A and B are shown apart, each in its own frame.
Chain A
């Protein structure tokens, strides 16, 4: 058997609308370009490693949203991988529908797209059996598994789905752990879960179930380095490693600004905390703690300052609390005291989701009553 290397990725979601975007149209275009660069990096990695296979376990694109230029780009890039067999298992976001790009375009000859039925491909050069299947539509709750041939050689499965335990169900192609163990495959190249994870089954072959995670952050919570999985099969067996491929990271920061006397001090604190290459990432900064009650953070201004200081993209969320001593104000006999008591009563009685709004109203009222008062003396 000849040894070989494979790259396993999934969930790039090319051209998916960006959730919670606040950066305007121009930066949105730049973000789109990031996703393309990431795909380009995956292709370059396959070339560098002389990978025999590139497994894309679903959600490469976003059905309905992915534009023609993006498809053209993907096809052009895959053309460069003529020495690599590319196997794509469509996911729930890019199902193998009749109006899918997978079916309306002519893909390069070395690219194979799995249909909605289980397929088996044998690569004699590597003594490798590959089983794959794609989503037929946006949801697929009926579980199924391939008929694995009782033949020698390595076995790899490429599929998009959700790992489940026991009788647990899922609309996104449930893959029962116990059933998978019975198949005795060597490596399951999975997709759907955006956080990378590896599970090793305790069967004869010690099946590795691997989610490589999204190679570029699709949501804010996908922070840190984003990777693909590189597998090597040789006489010693199967080895996997993770390789970062992201173009830009997404990071969420919580910045306590207590003690900052001015908005400028807030910006200074951010600049002191986040430096160098960290500013290249997409960052969402939550300002927390107490702030003086006579000003609030001008968010647009702060973003402008940070961008001038070299932040590639930054969003600011003001979660600070104005510095009011509610214990003292509550005890007052006048309007302020009564207002605080009433508001606190209302907050206590409210549903959790409404409490935030009521707290905001409390501080708005206090701002109106107290923040503009003239301090006598």
Chain B
């Protein structure tokens, strides 16, 4: 393909310009910002248009608006090009709204546009059809920009991509992005911070909730079934109850009918009773009137001369009784006074000595007698204990002797024991000494053995010397024979070689033997040294004592001590057994107890003596005081005297108390008699008016009058009641119109009789009693069923409430399941998303591998060729190491080795990249069947002069087949082309209208 001409109606700065391009190298030399890149972009835009590629919908590229013409409105132009043997003109309007394209066959002048149908974007894809390359691919293959050859760090990576996949498309970021998306979603349920982990976690939690709710509901099912059964029973009971109620109501209705009839009869009976009652009342009234007359007559007959009221009678009776009482009291006092007087005079004469007795002295005497009795008792007790004390004293004497012996034996035991311990230590020490001496003796023997072994150890004697001399002499002989008899020297040389071999072998054996001897000697020395050190550590010194003899003596002494100690212990045991003591301490305690007892007996004896003297004193005192009473007391005997004196004391007290009481009574009687006398006078004074009023002082007459008065009052009372009743009945008779009422009632009776007769009652098979029984039975049945119904209702209610309560605690299953399904869908959604990403990644990697397998072998020959060309044969064969997909290396013919590309200089790497780009253009040109143009946009600016020269030389070669557009901002390329004699066509850039106007060209 060759571009022949390009005409811009308007494209960025280029407005109305036209450029012609020729075959071979077209040099476009211009400074920066002069429009080179716009020119190249404009060519691409005219060739391919400005629609976005790779999409279905017509969209403009991002750069479409950037190249709007600076002047004018016509956006677009024409481009003439040649593909194969055909030339075309492609006319384009790039105006988005009025986009238009036209392809004209220049040779025939025919518009061939319609031969290319629209695609979904409304694009006819002229170039794609001819070249098989999209705009993006065209750019990537044909364009070598300064950016792509800038010697940047990533150029190696780009080379790698070119050689591996024939394009620079980076797939790693795409794979990385897919991986990062997979990672973002999360791969396992354990990653709980990621969406997938969170979704799984939520789903599991909800699953658990649903399971729990279901389990809780299933638990309730049994109860619900039971409730259902109970409700069924309840309905049955309800049915039975309703039937029973119906029956009961029926029976009750019948009963009510009978009861209504009874009510009418009762009414009739009531009327009869009413009539009779009124008649009785009338009769009662007449009776009362008769009684009133009789009572009035009786009252007049009973009335006494003086009417005494109850109060008057009570007062009068009380006065009379008071007067009689006073008289009786006075007579009683007189009699009692006389009797007391007699008794008092009798006591004062008969018991005068008791009345005069000194009571305090008598008390003291009694105390003395008690003291005497106490002393006598103490003396008797002391005498009882004297016999025991004597026994204790003899026992104590024996015990004290044994205690002294025991003490002596204990001291001896201590001495023997201490001596025994010391002796045992000495035996132990001497035993150790004897053992140590045995060990030292053994060590000395071993040391002697080692010393002898060391002395006997002699180094092995080298045995290689004969062979050594044999090969030296053989060699010397060979030297001599070489001169004299060359053939014979061969034998000696062989002999010498054999001897040398034997010498070396023997010497190795000797060295081995010597090493073994050396190891053995070192071991023996180490053992000897160790024994020496042990001997030093033991502090071995010459034996100065006969240890064995000393040990024997010590053992003898020890056995002697043991026998003596046994003797002492046996004696101690005999003493302890004699006194039945557990230990010496127990023995001493026993002695102390007996001593204590004897001391107590001594003290009692002295107290007894003292009591006897006090007793004699007391007796004397008692006898001297009791002389007046000796007759009554008898001979001195403390107990009897004490009893007799106590009796005397009691009698004296009784007599004195009686005399005091009699005298008090006399005084009291005297005072009482004088008070009663005054009362008698007062009673006579109060009775005097009654005598005067009633005209008599006869109490029996007064009593009769009072009784008659009482009867008169009763009759009057009765009369009053009767009169009131009569009056009330008369009023009632008038008010209630008894006579008329009786007539009415009789009339009603007659009517009821007629009604009863008139009404025809249904004949009842059962009488009321029987019916009532049936009603009661029906009611009982009804009540029983009602009770059953209530009970069942309560049970149903209870179970129902229980189920409801439990149900209320269970969260809604429907909500939980809905949320669970939502969570499950979320999990599935994330899994699908992740799966899609994984498939995409997997296929992308596979696609990359496929491209590498497909492209790399095809591009490799081209790459090697152009590397050789570009580097002038210094490097060949750019290869990807199959064992390590990222290592690139080149073959260096000078050294015959491969060299990693990273080890090359930056300039060489840039050359490599250049070579590969050329290889790519060649590959696609061959595959497309048309040589593609090569467009270099400041792409060689970083090459040094030699490399640039080489590059231009190659471009010169390529220009025979490919059209080359070489854009540069410097003059180096032109000068070198001229120097190298490479033909080129210079394309001068025309100043744009704007720059012309501003004069900046």
User: In the assembly, what is the distance between CA of A25 and CA of B819, in Å?
Assistant: 7
Do A335 and B844 have beta carbons less than 8 Å apart?
yes
Q: In the bound complex, what is the Cα–Cα distance between A75 and B733 (angstroms)?
A: 72
Instruction: Say yes or no: B822 contacts A21, CB within 8 Å.
Output: yes
Residues of chain B within 8 A of A343, CB atoms compared: 840, 843
Residues of B close to A376: CB separation below 8 A: 139
Q: Which of B119, B220, B800, B848 meets A327, CB within 8 Å?
A: B119
Across the interface, name the chain B residue whose C-beta is closest to A261: B59
In the complex, which residue of chain B has the Cβ closest to the Cβ of A341?
B847
Do B174 and A368 touch across chains, with their CB atoms under 8 A apart? yes
Contacts of B832 in A (CB 8 A): 357, 360
- CB–CB A335/B848 < 8 A: yes
Interface string of A318-335 (1 = CB under 8 A from B): 000001110111011111
The 0/1 profile, CB within 8 Å of A marked 1, for residues 105-128 of chain B is 000000000000001110000001
Given contacts A64-B217, A324-B54, whether A364 and B169 have CB atoms under 8 Å apart is: no
Q: Is B55 an interface residue (CB 8 A)?
A: yes
Query: Is A361 touching B134 in the complex (CB atoms < 8 A)?
Result: no
Docked-complex contact A377 and B62, CB < 8 angstroms: yes
Q: Does A375 contact B (CB under 8 A)?
A: yes
**A20 to B820 Cα, complex, angstroms:** 10
Q: Which residues of B contact A331 (CB under 8 A)?
A: 128, 132, 134
**Which of A244-270 touch B at CB < 8 Å?**
258-259
**In the complex, A62 has a CB within 8 A of chain B:** yes
State how many angstroms separate the Cβ of A35 from the closest Cβ of chain B: 10
Stretch at the interface among B221-229, B686-694, B861-869: B221-229
Evaluate contact between B137 and A335: CB separation under 8 angstroms: no
User: Does B804 lie within 8 Å of A68, measured CB to CB?
Assistant: yes
Residues of B within 8 A of A62 (CB): 814
CB pair B224 A334 closer than 8 Å = no
How many angstroms between the C-alpha atoms of A105 and B174 in the bound complex? 65
Our count of residue pairs bridging A and B at CB distance below 8 angstroms stands at 187
Interface segment out of the listed A52-60, A96-104, A128-136: A96-104
Bound complex: CA A104 to CA B140 (Å): 80
Q: Are B169 and A339 in contact (CB under 8 A)?
A: no
Q: Which of B805-813, B890-898, B961-969, B988-996 contacts A (4 or more CB under 8 A)?
A: B805-813
Instruction: Report if A239 contacts B (CB, 8 A).
Output: no
Whether A68 pairs with B813 at a CB distance below 8 angstroms is no
Contacts of B818 in A (CB 8 A): 17-18, 21, 28
- Alpha-carbon distance A331/B54, docked complex (angstroms): 11
Question: What distance in Å separates the Cβ of B849 from its nearest Cβ neighbour in chain A?
Answer: 9
User: Is A361 a contact of B57 with CB atoms below 8 Å?
Assistant: no
B540 within 8 A of A: no
Let me know if A372 is at the binding interface, CB within 8 A.
Answer: yes
Closest CB-CB distance, A195 to chain B, in whole Å? Answer: 23
A342 sits at the interface (CB 8 A) = yes
Q: Are B134 and A332 in contact (CB under 8 A)?
A: yes
Complex-state Cα separation, A99 to B121, whole angstroms: 66
B228 touches A100 (CB 8 A): yes
Given the complex of chains A and B, what is the CA–CA distance between A141 and B822 in angstroms?
A: 32
Is B851 located at the chain interface by the 8 A CB criterion?
Answer: yes
Q: Which residue of A lies closest to B831 (CB)?
A: A357
Q: Inside 8 A of B166's CB, which chain A residues have their CB?
A: 333-334
Report B-chain residues with C-beta under 8 Å of the C-beta of A22.
822, 825
Complex interface bits, B195-227 against A, C-beta within 8 A gives 1, otherwise 0: 000000000000000000000010011001101
Residue of A62, A331, A338 ringed by the most chain B CB atoms within 10 A: A338
A368 & B66 in contact (Cβ 8 Å cutoff)? no
Asked if B606 is an interface residue, CB under 8 A from chain A, the answer is no
When distances are taken between beta carbons in the complex, the residues of chain B under 8 Å from A15 are 812, 814
Q: Which of A338-355 contact B (CB under 8 A)?
A: 338-339, 342-343, 346
**CB atoms of B840 and A364 under 8 A apart:** yes
> Contacts A323-B57, A339-B843; is A21 near B836 (CB within 8 Å)?
no
Q: Which residues of A contact B270 (CB under 8 A)?
A: none
Q: Is A167 an interface residue (CB 8 A)?
A: no
With A99-B221, A364-B178, A369-B844 in contact, do A334 and B121 touch (Cβ < 8 Å)?
no
Query: Which residue of chain A lies nearest to B832 when distances are taken between CB atoms in the complex?
Result: A357
Q: Given the interface contacts A68-B807, A368-B175, A368-B177, does A99 sit within 8 Å of B228 by beta carbon? A: yes
Interface mask (A1-35 → B, CB under 8 Å = 1, otherwise 0):
00000000000000111111110110011001000
Q: Return chain A residues, CB-CB under 8 Å to B748.
A: none
Q: Please give, as numbers and ranges, the residues of chain B lying within 8 Å of A103 by CB-CB distance.
A: 227-228, 231-232
Chain A nearest Cβ from B325, distance in angstroms = 94
Q: Are A334 and B228 in contact (CB under 8 A)?
A: no
Cα distance A183–B166 when bound, in Å? 82
A100–B175 Cα gap in the complex (Å)? 58
When distances are taken between beta carbons in the complex, the residues of chain B under 8 Å from A375 are 61-63
- Asked if B171 is at the interface of the complex by the 8 Å CB criterion, the answer is yes
Residues on A with C-beta less than 8 A from B837 are 361, 364
Known: A64-B813, A104-B231, A334-B167. A324 touches B56 (CB 8 A): yes
Of all chain A residues, the one with the shortest Cβ separation from B178 is: A368
Say yes or no: is B410 at the interface (Cβ < 8 Å to chain A).
no
Q: Which of A104, A259, A329 contacts B800 (CB 8 A)?
A: A104
Known interface pairs A325-B120, A375-B61; A104-B169 also in contact (CB < 8 Å): no
Q: Mark B853-874, 1 if CB is under 8 A from A, else 0.
A: 0110000000000000000000
Which of A16, A324, A342, A361 interacts with B847 by CB under 8 Å?
A: A342
B815 sits at the interface (CB 8 A): yes
Q: Write the nearest CB–CB distance from A337 to chain B, whole angstroms.
A: 8
- Is B681 part of the contact surface with A, judged by Cβ < 8 Å? no
> Known: A334-B165, A357-B832, A365-B840. Contact between A372 and B173, CB under 8 A?
yes
Indicate if A370 sits at the interface (CB-CB under 8 A). yes
- Taken together as a complex, chains A and B put the C-alpha atoms of A132 and B337 apart, in Å, by 125
Looking at the complex, which one of A19, A24, A325, A335 makes contact with B169 (CB distance below 8 Å)?
A335
Contact A377/B813 with A327-B119, A329-B54, A339-B847 known, Cβ cut-off 8 Å:
no
Chain B proximity of A355: nearest CB distance (Å): 12
- Bound Cα distance from A368 to B174, whole angstroms: 5
* Separation of A56 and B202 alpha carbons in the complex (Å): 38
* B817 contacts A325, C-beta separation under 8 Å: no
**Are B54 and A368 closer than 8 Å at their CB atoms?**
no
What 3 A-B pairs have minimum CB-CB distances, sorted nearest first?
A377-B63, A365-B840, A361-B839
Q: What residues of chain A have their CB less than 8 Å away from a CB belonging to chain B?
A: 15-22, 24-25, 28-29, 32, 62, 64-68, 98-100, 103-106, 258-259, 290, 292-293, 323-325, 327-329, 331-336, 338-339, 342-343, 346, 357-358, 360-362, 364-365, 368-370, 372, 375-377
Known contacts A20-B821, A25-B819, A338-B851; 15 additional CB pairs below 8 A are: A20-B825, A65-B812, A68-B807, A98-B229, A323-B56, A325-B120, A325-B121, A328-B128, A335-B848, A338-B847, A358-B836, A361-B843, A368-B178, A372-B173, A375-B61
Identify the B interface with A (CB < 8 A). 41, 53-57, 59, 61-63, 66, 119-121, 128, 132, 134, 137, 139, 165-167, 169, 171, 173-175, 177-178, 181, 217, 220-221, 224-225, 227-229, 231-232, 796, 800, 803-804, 807-808, 812-815, 817-819, 821-822, 825, 832-833, 835-841, 843-844, 846-848, 850-851, 854-855
Instruction: Give me 29 A-to-B residue pairs in the complex whose CB atoms sit less than 8 angstroms apart, sorted by A's number.
Output: A15-B814, A19-B821, A21-B819, A22-B822, A22-B825, A25-B815, A65-B817, A67-B807, A68-B804, A103-B227, A104-B227, A106-B231, A258-B57, A327-B120, A328-B119, A332-B134, A332-B137, A334-B166, A334-B169, A334-B851, A335-B848, A336-B169, A342-B850, A361-B839, A364-B181, A364-B837, A368-B175, A368-B178, A377-B41
